[in-house]
Structure formats: C-alpha cells, structure tokens
Structure 1
C-alpha cells in the first residue's frame, strides 16, 4: 500500500498550480481534528476507567496513541510530508486500538473503542492524500475492525462504519476534483501568459521589422533596377513574417509613431523610473509629440490641465495613437499622393479618458478591417484595439466613404489615478 499510496502522491502533486493549494486548508483541519479527537478519546477513557476489565492495557495504548499523534503532526501538515509509509502505520495504529478494545473491556461495559472517533483521522488522511478509491479501502479496513470488535454487528456499529466510509469517500472525491481544477487553472494561466508574451512580441515585430520591410519594398519598387529586386525580397520576407505571426495566433501591432522624441519615450524609456510604481506621465505631452510637436503635420487639441496617467498606461495609449496615425499616413492619402490631414482630440472626463484620431481621407471600405486581419495585417486589430483591451479600454472605428475615418479610443479611469484640476 505504501508504494501505491506514494504513486497517488506523485499523481496528486505532479502539476501544482501557482499560489496556495486548494487542499492545504484540509490538511490544517485534519491536524486540528487529530488533536481534538485524541483529547476526546482520553476523556472517554478517563470517565469509564472503572468499567474496564483491564484498564492498564487501555492506559498503555492511549499513551502510545498520544505520543504517536503529537510526534506525527508534521506528517499531516501537507501532501509532501504525508507519505505512504506514514499512512500505513497510521491505519495500523487505528486498527490495533479498535481490536485491543475488546481485550481492555472484555465485558463490553464501555461503548466506544479505545481510540474512539480518532480512527476517522487516518482514513481522512488517506482520502486527502490518495483520493476516494484509497479512502474506500481505508474506511473498509477500519470498518471491518469495528465490526469484528463489536461481534454482534449492531445497528450503531454499522451506522458508524457507514458514516466513516461515506465521509471519507466524499472527501477523497472532492480532493480529486479540486486537484484536477487546480491543474486546469495552472495550464490556463501558463497559456494566457504565453499568449500575452507572443502578443507583445508580435506587436514589437509589427512596429519595427514589418514596417521596415514594407518601406524597403515600396522604395525599392519606386527606384527600380537592383533596388526593385531588393524590394521584392523584402516583400517576400514581410509576407512570410506576417504569416508566421498570424499562424501563431499572435495579434500583431501597428506602426511606429512619428518623431524621434516620441520613439524614445515609447521604447528606450518604456520602463522609466523603475521601482517607482507611482511614476506618471502627462498624456498631453506624448500626444503632442505624436502629432509632431506644435505646428506639426497633425493637429492636436486637448484640455488645458495635465492629464497624468501611470507611465506604462500613458505610453500604451500613445502607442495606439501612433499606430492610428501610421494607418493615416499609409492608407488615407489622396489619389495624387498628397497626405491626408489628421487631428488628435484628447478629452479628460471624470469617468474615462477619450482620445480621438480623425482624418479626411477616403475612409475605410466596409469589411476592410476584417479582411486585413485575415491577411495577417494586424495593425488595427491589436496594435490599436489590442493595446486598449490590455488596459481595460476599447477602440472603435467610424468611417464614412469619402469623408474620412475616426478612431475613438476610450480608457476608463481607475481608482488611484489623479485627476488634475479637479
């Protein structure tokens, strides 16, 4: 039984989840149960001492049981410490006490056995450790000893045996279900973490490598000659990389925001002020840089008061705005190649912060965003929407053919964010 119980231990602890185990409170409860029931067994024996035919036999067993219970408390503190050998010895101690009861009380004047309800502790330990099947075996062993000691198979003895059996099997089943749920949760958390990391890498790839490859392709085609061949190769690599990103279910990212200063704030200083979780950035500053500065190619309008946000949050919002502006530059130009005009509007409201990016380009044909996502062009899908979703916000596109496009980014305010000017 020791080897099989040890195998059950390995199955039960092969894939623990992060955080506190759901079964740990059961071990703590079992520890308390063993101590309390030991005290109960000693009290019952003391009250019926005069009725025992061989009280010294009971004294000897209970002294041994007391020492065993106190010395083995660490063994019932966790699944790792509760070994198969201990469970075998613990059940042996329980069964021995039950069988010795008829010798200590040959006349049957005292009702309970020497260990009394303490015997349920070893069975519960087996249930928590190895599941309901081994719990059924342990409870059957203890139950058979009780019926043998009773001799008459009385209704009370059968009732006690059935109660221990049902309780231990139920506990074992619940523990097995909890362990399975814990393993499922652990796998789900690992998958979520991996998906988040892949999404971040895909965004970085889209914001850098894919944009460079696309630029090389366009410039090479325009120059011609050997540059055209270089552009074709760059285009092939861009298609292959997009397919890789899409095939791994990565939700890529949008283009890089304009301006060297803006690039520095978003990448080189992405983790500015490490160790200072309260570091904040005025969102107006980042959006002004995204617009190219005062008098730049993009018109910026916002509140007169600062709009402070946690540094990472502000940079993520600004990166989404930069991706929207990159889409304007790439797709919203006029038929003669002239760039579309663009505007950034920042609204700081008590419940949420709204950033709107508008342009006067030709608009987005119906279904174009879904088609672009299917082709692996994930700029709108996650460079904009994905970033806002990570922050608990949203992104919405409003486009009228011939009248331009509006991208509305909404970010709910969270507790602890400062509201300047209020």
Structure 2
C-alpha cells in the first residue's frame, strides 16, 4: 500500500480525512435516528442503545486518531473495520429474524461505510474495494446468524453495491488528486528553481560578464601580454553568455528569445550585453532584428577591420526593444550614407534601415569622423514581420 504523508495543515491528505470525519458524524446522526425510530420493534431494545453508545465513542476516537498522520496505518484501519463489522453483526442480536429477512435497516445503517472510505483514502481503489468486500461478507453472515433464509433483501443488495461503488470511486478520485498534487509540487519546485537560476544569471551578468568585458577591452588597448589575457577573457565571456542563454527557460511556441540570438554574435571582438531573462518576440520579428544587427556588425568588420571591437546592447523596455551597435572606428563622414545610396550601395539602407522600417521600428545613426559609430534600433513589442522583396 502506498500512502502519502501530508501532515502539514491544509494539505490534500488532511482535507480528505476531515471529509471522512464529517461523514462519520452525519452517518452517526442518521443511525441514531433510525435506532430511536425502530426501538419498539427490536427483540432486545437495550442492545440497540449499547450499539449506539459504541458508535458514538468510536466516532469520537476515530476522528481524533485519523487526524494524526502518524497514527494512520494498518492497525488503525483494521480496528476501524472491526468496530464497523461488530456493530453490523450486532444487528442479529438486537433485531428480530423477521425484521432482518424483511430487509429492515441494520443498526449502523450507512455508518459502516466510513470504514470503507478510510480504507480508500489511505490505500486507493484496491483497499477501498477490499473494505467493501469485508462488509459485504459481514452482511451475508448477518443473515446466517439471524437464521434468515439468505441475503435476498433488495435493500441489503443495494447497500452492498453502494459500498463497492464508494470504495472504487473514492479510491480512484484520491489517486488522481494525489497525482495532481504531486505534479503541482513539481511545478512549484521548477518555478522556484527557474527564479533562482534567473537571479544567478542576473548576478553573473551584472558582475562577472562586465569584468570579463573590461579585461578584454583593456587588454586590447594595452597590447603585448595583456592582449593575450584580454583575448582569453573575451573567449570566456562569450562561453559564459552562451551558457546563460542555454540555461534560460525556453520561450513560448512561435516566439524566439532575441537575447539568445544576439548572444550568438559574441566573440573576442564583439561584446554582447543583454538582460539575464529571455526577451521573447515573434520568431520572424526576432530574426529580422538579428539580421539587421548582423549587417551592422558586418559593416564594422568591413570598414574598421576584422579585429575592431564592437559592442551590442539589448534593452527590453515595456513598449519596445532597443538594440544598440557601437564601434570606436573612424566614424562616418557627413553625407556618406546618402552618397552610397545614390550610387546603388544599399547595405545600410536595405539591410538595416529597410528591415527595421518593415517592422514598424526606427533606426538612428550617430557618428562623427574619428568618434566611432552607434546604430540604435528600436522596434515596438507588437511588431509583425512583413514579407520582404529581395532584389538582384
């Protein structure tokens, strides 16, 4: 028998046992009313009062004993069934043979079903059906003790069927409820673990990654052995960013984590800074933004040199996502972009500005000769990707 220890107040197990206790008291009240009503027809009326006294005492004792999770076990279940069976068989002593043969209610009536419910709650369907079988056998034995011709009463047959149904259904429902509670507990644990992972990722992002990025930049500026140290720091920074991205929870279906896409551009020369938590966007929108950033980084490598450093910053605002691509190269001379567009070179106009414009976003380019270039891409969170026409 598999049991679940839920002694904590308010747990599923405690609620089930409270329901069984409530049933005991309600069934006791009904049995008492029936004993009072049928007193004049009993062969031994005093025996009816004695059985009622036993039922009252055991109801109070069972309520207290089953409420303590440490006491629930085979011994208490056996005692509960023994008391129920004894009160049932006592009907043969108190009731007349004619009354039993006519199908008059037993002394405990439906009070004995509390034992079946207890077995079902503790052990599931099999134990519930087993408890119902014991009481069914007790009903048959009752007719034998009373000298009746046999258990042919319709009321007795209906009672046996109800006992089996109660044991089967309650045991099944209890099993399903326990499985649901276990799944809920696992979901709560997973959520707590996810929150802790996100907290650690934020801490790493705000401390370790920034230190590695600073070491990489300073090493490149100092040169010599410091450049080698900076290169190693850059490699570790890229690996750590990839690890954080892999540990992050998967975005919902149909979406993509823009932070994870941009993190793939990280290298010894490209520093990517993104929120520690996912930045989910529609998959098509995220891919277009990633393509625009890739085009910007390609321009940095082409015009500033393959070893030129670049910085990518992703900001997740409530209404929009903002991506900045910055370099410290020679900058762009005034009018150069317009001249390139007139000459048919549409790299920035199409690959960056055109993509973002199709998403309903904006692109701002800040640059001056000798001061580097910064491209700021801003796309609203509700953006939808449009089909792009690709020219020759």
Identify whether the pair has TM-score above 0.5, normalized to the shorter chain. Answer: yes
Aligned length: 286
Distance in 1 separating the partners of 2:50 and 2:376: 93
Give 1:241's aligned residue. 240
Q: Which has the higher contact order (CA 8 A, sep 6+)?
A: 1
TM-score (ref. length: structure 1): 0.59
160-169 vs 202-211, which moves further = 202-211
The higher radius of gyration belongs to 2
Question: Deviation at 1:397?
Answer: 8.8
Mapping for residues 215-364 of structure 1, pairs under 5 Å: 215-249=214-248, 320=316, 328=324, 331-333=325-327, 336-337=330-331
Tell me the secondary structure at the aligned position of residue 233 of structure 2.
helix
Give 1:195's aligned residue. 194
Question: Deviation at 1:72?
Answer: 2.4
Contact 1:198 1:250 in 2 (8 A): no
Give 1:36's aligned residue. 26
Change (3 A) 1:118 1:142: same
Distance in 2 separating the partners of 1:46 and 1:246: 74
Distance in 2 separating the partners of 1:75 and 1:20: 17
Alignment partner of 1:137 is 2:137? no
Question: Deviation at 1:223?
Answer: 2.4
Change (3 A) 1:22 1:397: farther
Question: Deviation at 1:171?
Answer: 0.8
Give 2:53's aligned residue. 63
Give 1:73's aligned residue. 63
TM-score (ref. length: structure 2): 0.63
Distance in 2 separating the partners of 1:214 and 1:61: 84
Question: Deviation at 1:177?
Answer: 0.4
Give 2:92's aligned residue. 102
Give 1:398's aligned residue. 361
Mapping for residues 43-62 of structure 1, pairs under 5 Å: 43-62=33-52
Contact 1:213 1:234 in 2 (8 A): yes
Distance in 1 separating the partners of 2:244 and 2:360: 24
Change (3 A) 1:404 1:243: closer
Question: Deviation at 1:118?
Answer: 0.3
Change (3 A) 1:364 1:201: farther
Question: Deviation at 1:127?
Answer: 1.1
Give 1:270's aligned residue. none
Give 1:417's aligned residue. none
Tell me the secondary structure at the aligned position of residue 187 of structure 2.
helix
Give 1:186's aligned residue. 185
Deviations 1:347-389 (A, max 9, x none): xxxxxxxxxxxxxxx69968xxxxxxxxxxxxxxxxxxxxxxx
Tell me the secondary structure at the aligned position of residue 2 of structure 2.
helix
Contact 2:321 2:378 in 1 (8 A): no
Of 127, 151, 154, 1:153 maps to 151
Distance in 1 separating the partners of 2:113 and 2:175: 19
Of 112, 116, 121, 1:123 maps to 116
Give 1:209's aligned residue. 208
Question: Deviation at 1:240?
Answer: 3.1
Question: Deviation at 1:401?
Answer: 9.8
Tell me the secondary structure at the aligned position of residue 406 of structure 1.
strand
Distance in 2 separating the partners of 1:138 and 1:364: 78
Question: Deviation at 1:77?
Answer: 3.5
Question: Deviation at 1:147?
Answer: 2.3
Contact 1:363 1:404 in 2 (8 A): no
Distance in 2 separating the partners of 1:175 and 1:61: 31
Change (3 A) 1:397 1:236: farther
Distance in 2 separating the partners of 1:58 and 1:146: 17
Tell me the secondary structure at the aligned position of residue 108 of structure 1.
helix
- Structure 2 unaligned regions, length at least 5: 145-149, 251-258, 264-314, 333-347, 353-358, 366-374, 383-392
Distance in 2 separating the partners of 1:238 and 1:18: 46
Distance in 2 separating the partners of 1:363 and 1:122: 80
Give 1:305's aligned residue. none
Distance in 2 separating the partners of 1:207 and 1:193: 21
